[in-house]
Structure 1
């Protein structure tokens, strides 16, 4: 974990603030790649994940954008109302679960609302590398759209397509995603409805799963009616744990002192993914693809359960 200084806080759109974070001693911050995020310990006590939106070559600062969510469980509200310039925050080093495809010849970036944050860093990197890309940014109104001033400037402007849902420029995903070609990769980030629209359209247009990349900011509601207890066995020790119907694998193992890396605890970040050696998972996450789920060799202990009476985990 790192201690950083909030060197600047500004409103960049309706209910969205950007925060510039710098090291306390002036030393360069750990490097990051486009699509990376950091965990931020908020004043409310909650840890939240925020994508880095500045140029990945910048080592003197991290930039994040935070939407004040009306359904906030405390994290985004605390960032808006309690964090001010000059304060210090505790953050993690950057981690990238949403990277650019190394072999991509063309990249289509689709951002909805606050989903522009990882796409902005991607656009900076792709522009510098001279790689073919388009950035499609959809938003409810001009007032709710963040970083429009940055997107309107060189070198990004010629790659940007703005889609104002309150005007006549709404995104026609079927047209943009028609006829996928080898080497072209699709990236989607934003509200669940926006992402489902893009991903379902891509699937109907024949986009291969390996050319489609997404990052959810919030988990879809999970139906818990009918959840059943099951057992988890740890392969390294043979220990067996009972998982009640109303508790997650992560909660039970964490209480027993078994360390599993976790971050979002909602099945959207992939930090806790664990190998399954025996048994069939009941996948509840939104991080892995349907193809990855079908293999049934990994699962997310923060939210997923079991279809079989026991899972043997590579722990």
Structure 2
């Protein structure tokens, strides 16, 4: 994945504990155009990489804007960005990737957002408005003060004919969005997108289980709660052969392929470490992967030609990877 040097052009407060970061090229470089739902990796000077959805208007190449919720009990990335980054800082960012692609020819698009999960959906709303397409948004947050882009979304709904339903539940589980009722009220040929906290996504998965799979789209900001480190680690020993150097890297029980590669000083792009961002996707040349990620499609898994190495393993004694 290509990277670029970017200067932090502006920082703005969007909501309680949520800031936007506007990155610009450090010269006259034009960056790749980002599509709705895309994200970038931000390489932080504390040695970690984090993925964030782009929120700026789709189709632009002069800036990338992200929104970051300060996670008090996270792994430090969001706290560093909120507390330490300053306008003028230069960071490394990746080119956009999109695991949450908007289907632009849908008969109708339903968007369901919880909290900071509005970020990829806001870029989709902007694109749907450009297309003069039919859309409905259900947006839930703890309070209005915790919700980003509300005024812009309402304004865009007015000008583009979209429908918006806001739900501020105050943290009361009894006042959460009724996902099943939303899905039951949604036409069967509509495309439905969901992004937000894990309880919302679990409810979404249950409510859409009988829907046509190609019309159902979700994006995780964290791996499901039942995806423990032992489930992503491997139960058996196997070898990874690196096709470009013919080096063999053993992977033992309790380790992931990415763990073994990094321990062997093999540099592999990575970010989430839990199978939700696709940063470490690697081409498989031989062997049978044991897929345990949350981003590959069923057809991609069945092909056996690609895998997410931060969480997946092997069903064969050896994997040959294009590394």
What is the distance in 1 between the residues matched to 2:160 and 2:84?
33
**Backbone CA RMSD of aligned residues:** 2.9
After TM superposition, give the deviation of residue 61 of structure 1 in Å. Answer: 2.4
- Could you tell me whether the CA contact under 8 Å between 1:43 and 1:79 is conserved in 2? no
What is the distance in 1 between the residues matched to 2:25 and 2:104?
30
Q: Does 1:161 align with 2:165?
A: yes
1:4–1:313 Cα change, 3 Å: closer
1:87-106 correspondence runs (5 A): 87-106=89-108
After TM superposition, give the deviation of residue 35 of structure 1 in Å. Answer: 0.8
After TM superposition, give the deviation of residue 26 of structure 1 in Å. Answer: 5.2
- Could you tell me whether the CA contact under 8 Å between 2:48 and 2:271 is conserved in 1? no
Q: Does 1:305 align with 2:305?
A: no
- Could you tell me whether the CA contact under 8 Å between 2:288 and 2:304 is conserved in 1? yes
What is the distance in 2 between the residues matched to 1:260 and 1:45?
14
What is the distance in 2 between the residues matched to 1:20 and 1:181?
37
Tell me the equivalent position of 2:195. Answer: 189
**CA offsets, 1:135-176, max 9 Å, x none?**
211112222111222122133684322122238974221122
What's the TM-score, normalizing by structure 1?
Answer: 0.86
Q: Which runs of 5+ in 1 are unaligned?
A: none
- Could you tell me whether the CA contact under 8 Å between 1:36 and 1:98 is conserved in 2? yes
Tell me the equivalent position of 2:127. Answer: 125
What is the distance in 1 between the residues matched to 2:49 and 2:132?
36
Q: Which runs of 5+ in 2 are unaligned?
A: none
Tell me the equivalent position of 1:273. Answer: 281
After TM superposition, give the deviation of residue 256 of structure 1 in Å. Answer: 4.6
After TM superposition, give the deviation of residue 202 of structure 1 in Å. Answer: 1.0
Please, which moves more after superposition, 87-96 or 60-69?
87-96
Tell me the equivalent position of 1:211. Answer: 215
Q: How many residues align?
A: 313
Tell me the equivalent position of 1:171. Answer: 177
After TM superposition, give the deviation of residue 214 of structure 1 in Å. Answer: 1.6
Question: The residue matched to 2:261 in structure 1 has which SS?
Answer: helix
- Could you tell me whether the CA contact under 8 Å between 1:16 and 1:66 is conserved in 2? yes
Question: The residue matched to 1:303 in structure 2 has which SS?
Answer: coil
- Could you tell me whether the CA contact under 8 Å between 2:18 and 2:69 is conserved in 1? yes
After TM superposition, give the deviation of residue 309 of structure 1 in Å. Answer: 3.6
What is the distance in 2 between the residues matched to 1:224 and 1:96?
28
Question: The residue matched to 2:184 in structure 1 has which SS?
Answer: coil
What's the TM-score, normalizing by structure 2?
Answer: 0.84
- Could you tell me whether the CA contact under 8 Å between 2:37 and 2:101 is conserved in 1? yes
1:14–1:186 Cα change, 3 Å: same
**CA offsets, 1:166-190, max 9 Å, x none?**
3897422112212765652121111
Tell me the equivalent position of 1:150. Answer: 152
Question: The residue matched to 1:227 in structure 2 has which SS?
Answer: coil
What is the distance in 2 between the residues matched to 1:223 and 1:82?
30
Q: Does 1:31 align with 2:33?
A: yes
What is the distance in 1 between the residues matched to 2:77 and 2:144?
25
- Could you tell me whether the CA contact under 8 Å between 1:40 and 1:92 is conserved in 2? yes
After TM superposition, give the deviation of residue 81 of structure 1 in Å. Answer: 0.1
What is the distance in 1 between the residues matched to 2:272 and 2:56?
22
